[in-house]
Amino acid sequence: MIKWMDDSGTEKDIVVSSRIRYARNLKKHKFPIILDKKESDEIFRKISEIIESKDIYSKKFFHFKTSNIPNLEKKMLIERHIISPALIKNQGISGFIMSNDEKISIMINEEDHLRLQVLSSGLNLKECLKKADELDSILDEKLEYAYHKQFGYITACPTNLGTGIRASSMIHLPGLVMTGRLERLLNTISKFGISVRGVYGEGSKSLGNLFQISNQTTLGNDEKTIVEKVEKIAMQIVNKEKEARQYLLDENKIEIEDRVYRSYGVLTNAKIISTDEAVKLLSLVKLGVDLDLIENYNKINFNKLFIEIQSMNIQYEAREELNERERDIKRAEIIKRTFSKESE
């Protein structure tokens, strides 16, 4: 069960999720790239003790050393956006702390000593910022952050200097893709310091017409200004997507209905299906549901389903290692079961 993706938030039909991430390092400690185990354990202990001593949003927090987590579970947490691939690469010295609802996670000794992130469904960046800022302040009371008057928070990567904040939203854009309007829009927003990436960040590809937008730099503006900028551009993209969807309805309704129902037919009858095919078809069916072209499935949380059918999540729920064919069979079963349940 993916706890944090609860199908709530503003513009939830188009905006899948929001995330605020802070990068921080501790003064008088070496960067993780040259950190030894003894010092890494000290950093982990310091941060863990602070979280344990505070009642934060009435949430329970779980503390993990990365090396103690089974490989399958680590990869599943990456698919759920709770931890990063870089944390696993540093598993000899890294760890993480996660809230029981999975909305808050603190990665320790990843690229930086501390990567604090808050996740939410829908377009909810300001609320995520509020929670991240409150938790950052709690940690700042006890920890001595590496900070420079001119350059702000000192980070391992220069692009994170300044506020150390990364504000991002995952957006579903089938209308812009199908009308051929996406590339021009993305070229325009890049001029405003906004980057567009795939589902799992830098270097990853888009799956099912899902794109992640975020600020490119963190130096020169405060956290609130950066978040307001990303949220404003996210809303502009949302409005352009709505325009593209309306155009498709006005000019190509029968063709869109055909693609939606063909996708629905495959998804609800397939015995075996790959991740790529499933995500592409789910994207089209979600579009059909959002446009009221297909009935009875408004209660399906498609955004959660996109994650649930990823390979590691399938294996984690099955509690066993599966080969590719077995995963493809399980994926088809999960999709068919989801649609059958909601149509009853």
Written as one string, the DSSP assignment of 51-85 is: HHHS--TT--EEEEEGGGS-HHHHHHHHHTTSS-H
Q: 324-343 and 311-318 are packed helices; what angle lies between their axes, rounded to 10 degrees?
A: 80
Tell me what pLDDT residue 342 has. 67
Pinpoint the alpha helices (H) of 82-124. 85-89
- What is the helix, strand, coil percentage profile of the chain, to 5? 50, 20, 30
Yes or no: say if 135 and 95 are a contact pair by the CB < 8 Å rule. Answer: no
As a whole-number percent, the residues of the chain with pLDDT over 90 amount to: 76
Pick the closest to residue 296 from 243, 344, 256 (CA basis): 344
Distance (Å, whole) CA 98 – CA 47 = 12
Residue 202 has pLDDT above 70, yes or no: no
Among the ranges given (53-57, 138-142, 286-290, 309-313), the one the predictor scored with the smallest mean pLDDT: 53-57
Tokens of residue 129, six digits: 């910022």
Average pLDDT for residues 55-61, to the nearest whole number?
A: 79
Tell me what pLDDT residue 16 has. 93
Yes or no: say if 274 and 328 are a contact pair by the CB < 8 Å rule. Answer: yes
Tell me what pLDDT residue 9 has. 77
Would you place residue 199 in the very low, low, confident or very high pLDDT band (cuts 50, 70, 90)? low
Pick the closest to residue 209 from 143, 303, 114 (CA basis): 303
Yes or no: say if 115 and 106 are a contact pair by the CB < 8 Å rule. Answer: yes
What pTM did the predictor assign? 0.91
Tell me what pLDDT residue 31 has. 95
Tell me what pLDDT residue 224 has. 95
Tell me what pLDDT residue 1 has. 59
261-301 tens-digit pLDDT: 999 999 999 999 999 999 999 999 999 999 999 988 988 99
Yes or no: say if 319 and 281 are a contact pair by the CB < 8 Å rule. Answer: no
Would you place residue 341 in the very low, low, confident or very high pLDDT band (cuts 50, 70, 90)? confident
Average pLDDT for residues 1-11, to the nearest whole number?
A: 75
Residue 343 has pLDDT above 80, yes or no: no
Q: In whole angstroms, how far apart are CA 197 and each of 170, 212, 215? A: 9, 5, 11
As a whole-number percent, the residues of the chain with pLDDT over 70 amount to: 95
Yes or no: say if 230 and 247 are a contact pair by the CB < 8 Å rule. Answer: no
Measure CA of the first residue to CA of the last residue in the chain; give whole Å: 21
Distance of CA 301 to the CA centre of its chain: 15
Tell me what pLDDT residue 204 has. 47
Distance (Å, whole) CA 224 – CA 228 = 6
Question: What would you report as the CA-atom Rg of the chain, rounded to the nearest whole angstrom?
Answer: 21
**Residue 341 three-state SS:** helix
Query: Which amino acid is present at 3?
Result: K
